[in-house]
Amino acid sequence: MSYDDELKSNNYSTPKRCAKALKKYLTDSNSHILDIGCGTGLSGQEIINVGFKNVDGTDFSDKMLYEAKNKNIYKRLFNLDLNSNFYNVNFNYNAIVAAGIISPHHANPSCLEKCLNILCNSGLLIFSLNDHAVENKNFMDKIFMIVDKNFEILEKTYGDHLPGIKLNSFVYVIKKLKIKKY
């Protein structure tokens, strides 16, 4: 079974929830959105489905990027390891979406901090954390040390992630603070 088929067979729901949350807080469909850890493009497709036109994507897997490219949904796609220190992104986005990507097995909490450099002032970050990530106290402490210092939490919802295997996730909408809190 392909990656997409396996997720679809478990009713992978987080990308749609992230896109809906994004649309609620960002009404301009010409806004520039970056889908980090875009995989094969399931998350990008949902962002397009709610009306956004300018969506770029990144992943650290060329295989995933190749599949995403074939879907013709992204304006630009590039290889980026979210755990690296250098983000070779020469653009400031209105919003960044991280659907199913921040977890103890994928991107580290520190990627939230690095995203600050590629977000506009008051830019939005929409990210999910599944039940497994939330159970990891050390991981969650690291997330909220960064969030509390640099962002305002606009929304947090709990709902389906992979209902086929009874796994849920939180979806957060956070806004970059203009001035850092000390």
Ligand X SMILES: C[S@@+](CC[C@H](N)C(=O)[O-])C[C@H]1O[C@@H](n2cnc3c(N)ncnc32)[C@H](O)[C@@H]1O
Give the phi and the psi of residue 3 in degrees, each rounded to 5: -55, -50
106 near ligand X (CB under 6 A): yes
Reduced to 3 DSSP states, what percent helix, strand and coil does the chain have, rounded to the nearest 5? 35, 30, 30
174 CB-near residues (< 8 Å, 6+ apart): 124, 125, 126, 127, 147, 151, 152, 153, 154
> What is the C-alpha end-to-end distance of the chain, expressed in Å?
49
| 38 forms part of the interface with ligand X (CB under 6 A) | yes
Q: Which of 16, 32, 55, 100 binds ligand X (CB under 6 A)?
A: 100
Q: Edge-to-edge, what's the strand order for the sheet holding 77-79?
A: 77-79, 54-59, 32-36, 93-98, 119-130, 167-176, 151-162
Closest distance to ligand X from the beta carbon of 15 (Å): 4
Q: Is 129 in the site for ligand X (CB under 6 A)?
A: no
CB-nearer residue toward ligand X: 84 or 121: 84
Q: Is residue 20 near ligand X by the rule CB under 6 A?
A: no
Instruction: Give the range of 69-77, 78-86, 129-137, 163-171 binding ligand X by CB under 6 A.
Output: 78-86
Q: Considering the complex, what minimum distance in angstroms separates the CB of residue 178 from ligand X?
A: 28
Residue 83 makes contact with ligand X by CB under 6 A: yes
Given the complex with ligand X, which of 26 and 98 has the nearer CB atom? 98
Residue 107 lies near ligand X (rule: CB under 6 A)? yes
* CA trace torsion 23, 24, 30, 36 (10° rounding): -50
Asked if 157 and 151 touch (Cβ cutoff 8 Å), the reply is no
Of 42 and 89, CB closest to ligand X: 42
Q: Is 23 in the site for ligand X (CB under 6 A)?
A: no
Using CB under 6 A as the criterion, which residues of the chain lie in contact with ligand X when the complex forms? Answer: 15, 37-39, 42-43, 59-61, 64, 81-83, 99-101, 106-107
